[in-house]
Amino acid sequence: MGKIAFVFSGQGAQYTGMGKELYDASPAAKKVFDMADSIRENTSKQCFEADVSELSQTVNTQPCVFTADLAAACAVAEKGIKPDFVAGFSLGEIAALAFSQMMSYEDAFKLVCKRGELMNEAAQKNKGAMLAVMKITPEQTEEICSKFEKTYPVNYNSPAQTVVATTEENADAVIEAVSEAKGRAKKLAVSGAFHSPFMSEAADGLYEYLSDKTISDPCVPVYSNFTAEPYSGDYKMLIKSQVENPVKWQTTVENLIAQGVDTFIEVGVGKTLTGLIKRINGDVKAIKVENKADLDALEI
């Protein structure tokens, strides 16, 4: 048998009721939600009951999705399934850091709350938009971005999907340029232009926040969005850099497969990563675990 990677979902897949079934079914998952509530009152209530508009506010999304992600990973581990590697998409990377014991769950949760606040402030100050570009290559997307000011490829998701950050004013023109290149683009329902220079102030603030924090070596290798390689060197700089630079998801998945991973378990919210992994390599197994039925059906 090949190796297993847990992949932690990111912002955008949130929905009312996320994590509730695992909270009820798994003592390990419940413990994560209780931890979150002890630091940020009513986090679990927000996950379970808040409407999508409330959950989609960055200051709420990040702590809530983090909690649901980490709870799902702990529920899977409680079944005796342990990963050889972990990686997270954007926000999910912080949950991966916590699961790999680079930070305590409490410290990682506080970090993600701070991250959400800083990114929300940067988004309000530096208005931007994000577009999902499909059906053309990353190279074609890069070429289109080069023709516009303040327009950047920010999520390299799969061979035929790249997310772009741009100004609100440029968004429609970029969509038209993608259409002319025989691709398709659509605006994403997000509150800022993440993983781009629009977030530089948030990245600086996060690095300052981390200055007196302890980050340990991982007990399970964590792949970085910024490098698409395992965490090494200056861990705090990697956490900072991730906020203002592209997510190299396709390369991360390809590198994990090259290390022998043939089973990816998406822990947390939704099935976005499962879909992307299957588009990157149709030969590997990609499974999601976000509810009791998924957990009960999980066999490796």
Closest by Cα among 133, 127, 150, 152 to 142: 152
Residue 299 has pLDDT above 90, yes or no: no
Residue 9 designated active-site: no
Three-state secondary structure call for residue 166:
strand
Residue-wise pLDDT tens digits, 30-81: 999 999 999 999 999 999 999 999 999 999 999 999 999 999 999 999 999 9
Per-residue pLDDT, 2: 93
Per-residue pLDDT, 8: 98
What mean pLDDT is predicted for residues 144-155?
A: 98
CB 268 within 8 A of CB 65: yes
Per-residue pLDDT, 189: 78
What mean pLDDT is predicted for residues 207-215?
A: 97
Per-residue pLDDT, 12: 85
What proportion of the chain, given as a percentage, has pLDDT over 90? 96
Per-residue pLDDT, 13: 85
Residue 200 has pLDDT above 80, yes or no: yes
Instruction: State pTM to two decimals.
Output: 0.96
Per-residue pLDDT, 255: 98
Closest by Cα among 9, 5, 12 to 163: 12
Alpha helices in the chain (DSSP H): 20-25, 27-39, 43-49, 52-55, 58-78, 92-99, 105-125, 138-145, 171-180, 200-210, 235-244, 249-258, 272-280, 292-297
Per-residue pLDDT, 154: 98
Residue 195 designated active-site: yes
Residue 261 has pLDDT above 80, yes or no: yes
Tokens of 144: 């289109």
Residue-wise pLDDT tens digits, 11-31: 888 999 999 999 999 999 999
The catalytic residue among 90, 158, 191, 196 is: 90
Residue-wise pLDDT tens digits, 228-259: 999 999 999 999 999 999 999 999 999 999 99
Residue 82 has pLDDT above 90, yes or no: yes
Mean of pLDDT over the chain: 97
The catalytic residue among 195, 196, 224, 241 is: 195
Percent helix, strand, coil in the chain (nearest 5)? 50, 15, 35
Nearest-angstrom CA–CA distance, 161 and 164: 10
What proportion of the chain, given as a percentage, has pLDDT over 70? 100
Residue 191 has pLDDT above 90, yes or no: no
